[in-house]
């Protein structure tokens, strides 16, 4: 056709159609892969922590673009573009995982370990589309080993705590502690004192050492030292004697290292007998000092 014979509008139309025919058709998958790779390359973290993976992604994109330029089929170009995009995802996830590992390397908490395992699994999931799953299995094995080690450490701590509780309960049994509505009660009979006196005899001092050791190893304990007598003698004398004996026990505990803040004291004299005062054995049982541990604070029971 002779362009000189065409009207001006037809000539313009031919020029536009020719220009459109010279522009290559765009490939959406290739554009997405190229855009994703450019965005990831712009991240300093990825370039620093996943250089090898980023190089693989760049090479995969180059192969896809070469296939496009060579006129390969659309399905092949789309597949190669998909592979390039997945390589880019792997590079980004690997960088994120390695960054997380660097942050958590100095952390000792279980929470950080679990977060790291989660990010590692995410990176492994992306890489698993193109590679074998051996690395994921290794990471899972390491996580299980760490969990086993943590569980073993917890069991060891529990065993040590139980051994300590057993030891303390043994001390209470040696002191003949008994469980009452008021809590654990250790009764110190009048044989620990001279008749009518408030000075502790040697056997009484040994009992105080055991009692003080128990309280020092349990600083949360609070104990009330209570003095009692039988009904022989005047009420005033018995009240004063029970007060002095309770004071003697309290002072002995403090001198053995028990903080005074853990102790309180009260004297009851001849009130609150635990046996009849009409017999010698009953009166002996009433002449006593009791050390009472509140049950809500003790956390232990005598066996």
161 in any annotated domain? no
Mean pLDDT across the chain: 82
Q: What is the mean pLDDT of residues 187-204?
A: 77
Among candidates 213, 217, 221, which has minimal Cα distance to 184?
221
| Cβ atoms 217, 210 nearer than 8 A | no
Q: Same structural domain for residues 124 and 225?
A: no
- pLDDT one-digit tens code per residue, 67-115: 999 999 999 999 999 999 999 999 999 999 998 898 877 666 777 786 8
Q: Same structural domain for residues 86 and 203?
A: no
pLDDT at 133: 67
Q: Same structural domain for residues 7 and 59?
A: yes
303 in any annotated domain? no
169 in any annotated domain? no
Q: Same structural domain for residues 120 and 228?
A: no
Q: Same structural domain for residues 194 and 288?
A: yes
148 in any annotated domain? no
β-pair type (288-293, 183-189): antiparallel
pLDDT at 19: 44
Exposure string (b/e) for 21-50, b if CB count within 10 Å is 16 or more?
Answer: eeeeeebebbeebbebbeebeebeebeebb
166 in any annotated domain? no
- pLDDT one-digit tens code per residue, 2-58: 445 445 555 455 444 444 444 457 899 899 999 999 999 999 999 899 899 999 999
Q: Same structural domain for residues 193 and 273?
A: yes
Q: Tell me how many domains the chain contains.
A: 2
pLDDT at 174: 73
Domain extent, residue 75, equals 3-131
Residue 123 has pLDDT above 90, yes or no: no
* Most confident range, picked from 7-16, 244-253, 288-297: 244-253
Which of the listed residues 78, 107, 131 is the one where a domain comes to its end? 131
Q: Same structural domain for residues 282 and 193?
A: yes
CATH number, position 218: 3.30.1330.60
Residue 303 has pLDDT above 50, yes or no: no
Which of the listed residues 99, 131, 163 is the one where a domain comes to its end? 131
227 in any annotated domain? yes
Rounded to 5 degrees, φ, ψ at 38 are -65, -40
- At 158, is the pLDDT very low, low, confident or very high (cuts 50, 70, 90)? confident
Q: Same structural domain for residues 98 and 30?
A: yes
pLDDT at 207: 81
9 in any annotated domain? yes
pLDDT at 164: 60
Which one is predicted more confidently, 247 or 112? Answer: 247
pLDDT at 9: 52
């Amino acid at each position: 056709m002779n362009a000189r014979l065409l009207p001006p509008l037809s000539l313009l139309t031919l020029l536009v159609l020719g220009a459109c025919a010279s522009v290559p058709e765009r490939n959406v998958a290739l554009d997405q892969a190229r855009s994703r790779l450019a965005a990831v390359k712009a991240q300093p973290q990825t370039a620093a922590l996943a250089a090898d993976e980023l190089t693989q992604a760049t090479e995969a994109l180059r192969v896809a673009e070469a296939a496009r330029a060579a006129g390969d089929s659309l399905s092949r170009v789309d597949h190669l573009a998909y592979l390039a995009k997945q390589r880019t995802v792997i590079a980004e996830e690997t960088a994120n995982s390695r960054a997380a590992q660097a942050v958590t390397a100095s952390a000792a908490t279980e929470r950080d370990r679990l977060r790291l395992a989660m990010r590692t699994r995410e990176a492994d999931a992306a890489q698993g589309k193109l590679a074998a799953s051996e690395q994921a299995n290794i990471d899972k094995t390491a996580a299980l080993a760490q969990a086993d080690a943590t569980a073993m450490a917890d069991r060891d701590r529990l065993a040590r705590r139980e051994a300590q509780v057993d030891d303390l309960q043994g001390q209470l049994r040696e002191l003949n502690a008994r469980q009452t509505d008021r809590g654990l009660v250790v009764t110190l009979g009048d044989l620990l004192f001279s008749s009518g006196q408030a000075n502790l005899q040697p056997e009484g001092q040994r009992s105080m050492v055991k009692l003080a050791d128990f309280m020092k190893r349990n600083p949360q304990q609070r104990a009330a030292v209570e003095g009692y007598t039988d009904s022989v003698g005047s009420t005033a004398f018995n009240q004063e004697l029970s007060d002095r004996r309770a004071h003697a026990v309290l002072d002995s505990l403090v001198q053995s290292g028990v903080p005074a803040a853990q102790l309180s004291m009260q004297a009851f004299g001849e009130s609150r007998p635990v046996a009849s005062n009409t017999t010698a054995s009953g009166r002996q049982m009433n002449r006593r000092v009791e050390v009472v541990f509140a049950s809500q604070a003790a956390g232990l029971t005598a066996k």
